[in-house]
Structure 1
């Protein structure tokens, strides 16, 4: 699994910085360009398929949103992420940001996340948060729990803001638990955490959920490796047989 798509993403943004995509943000264009040039110097065409799964460096992330449908106007309101380096969660190497939102939050979202309009109205814009997030991620693979939610919002946001497809690959925890726990019918993050002895703390907070998912990824990757799947290639081949 190479990272050419991420290179294309970065180059795509570079091309748009000379247009009006960031209309009115001339003071920030230089910062964005500096980031992109640095990414081009640092990015490598790494292949993670053959790396032992317990040694795979990843960024585990989570988003909180106003709903489930970005194409109907729902938006990202926070992003949280934590790195796993060679199987160890780097609690000190985290990313978290609220995202600017100037409309009333749905009551159920306020109750679920604990966020309020007052916290979001002065937060950084989504464009700035996504740039900062990718600066944090660099060339590392992404991991999310049942990643379709994250994937759909990132795709929509990148296209809306930058007219650039989001092509960065996201590894899904479901890949691992279908291999590690093939006989268990578990779905929710808290269910899997409780089953695997992970205290459920900070649920429905983007960084809290990212940290829970990171702990789950470490446990499941060890179980997958013990079952004979030493790398992602083995995981995908096992999944093909289970399908």
Structure 2
């Protein structure tokens, strides 16, 4: 990986810190929620975690289920699942919420996820679910498997609900895979689990996928430490040399 590619990695990881106050309001959120989100984003320290020891790094491994792959074309989040980890240990703290997306769930998505439109009728709104999720995250680092999907939907959801940018770092499991297994070319969560002898359970359920990703994260984080990585910054620097 060249210098320009590494710089793009860092841009994607850290985001652009924008200290300006946004004055627009959202019809789907109340004023307290908007104030909460804006203060959260203002206070977010996006670079601190990169220098923390990996064996103490607090992270929230998460996954979302959606109606499709294109938030800018109207696809919506329909569930969020997450588990907390510290270092290489999976904690008992878990989060799961369906999301009332206000749309009909496509039949193929219902077959894949088991979520039907009627299941979302009494679910929290997107803004309520996001506030609950961000309260669960607190100041921890986010982790996701091939995180571009989660990132694009979170960016869209935060802007739609609160008119505020999404500034949380999302560390991609792919970074660890590239360090520990640089010659392996597999992509999907289930393939990585099978390659790593991890039983695939509750696939395409947001919390189930978050649990699988957390197991992978802890396994490969430990192996990255065995290779001499002590912080996330060490991992980024190794990626830059590839």
Q: TM-score range with shorter-chain normalisation?
A: 0.7 to 0.9
The number of aligned residues is: 231
The answer for the alignment partner of 2:54 in structure 1 is 53
RMSD: 2.7
Q: Output the CA distance in 2 between the equivalents of 1:72 and 1:239.
A: 33
- Render the CA deviation track for 1:182-232: whole Å, top value 9, x for unaligned: 111121111111111211111100000001000000001011111122211
Q: Output the CA distance in 2 between the equivalents of 1:131 and 1:8.
A: 20
Mark the runs of 5 or more structure 1 residues left unpaired by the alignment: none
TM-aligned CA distance change 1:227 to 1:215, over 3 Å: same
Shift of 1:30: 4.3
The answer for the alignment partner of 2:63 in structure 1 is 62
- Render the CA deviation track for 1:44-95: whole Å, top value 9, x for unaligned: 67712222223211000000000000000100000011100232111x3111
Deviates more, 1:223-232 or 1:138-147: 223-232
**Corresponding residue SS for 1:95:** strand
TM-aligned CA distance change 1:77 to 1:176, over 3 Å: same
Greater relative contact order (CA < 8 Å, ≥ 6 in sequence): 2
The answer for the alignment partner of 2:193 in structure 1 is 193
- Render the CA deviation track for 1:151-189: whole Å, top value 9, x for unaligned: 000111111222211111100000000001111112111
Deviates more, 1:66-75 or 1:221-230: 221-230
Q: Could you list the runs of 4 or more consecutive aligned residues of structure 1 that deviate by over 6 angstroms after TM superposition? A: 3-9, 42-46
| TM-score normalised per structure 1 | 0.84
Instruction: Map 1:5-44 to 2 at 5 A.
Output: 20-22=25-27, 29-30=31-32, 33=35
Q: Output the CA distance in 1 between the equivalents of 2:119 and 2:181.
A: 40
Shift of 1:31: 6.4
The answer for the alignment partner of 2:174 in structure 1 is 174
Mark the runs of 5 or more structure 2 residues left unpaired by the alignment: 1-9
Q: Output the CA distance in 2 between the equivalents of 1:161 and 1:115.
A: 22
| TM-score normalised per structure 2 | 0.85
- Tell me if the contact between 2:63 and 2:80 (Cα under 8 Å) persists in the aligned partners: yes
The answer for the alignment partner of 1:150 in structure 2 is 150
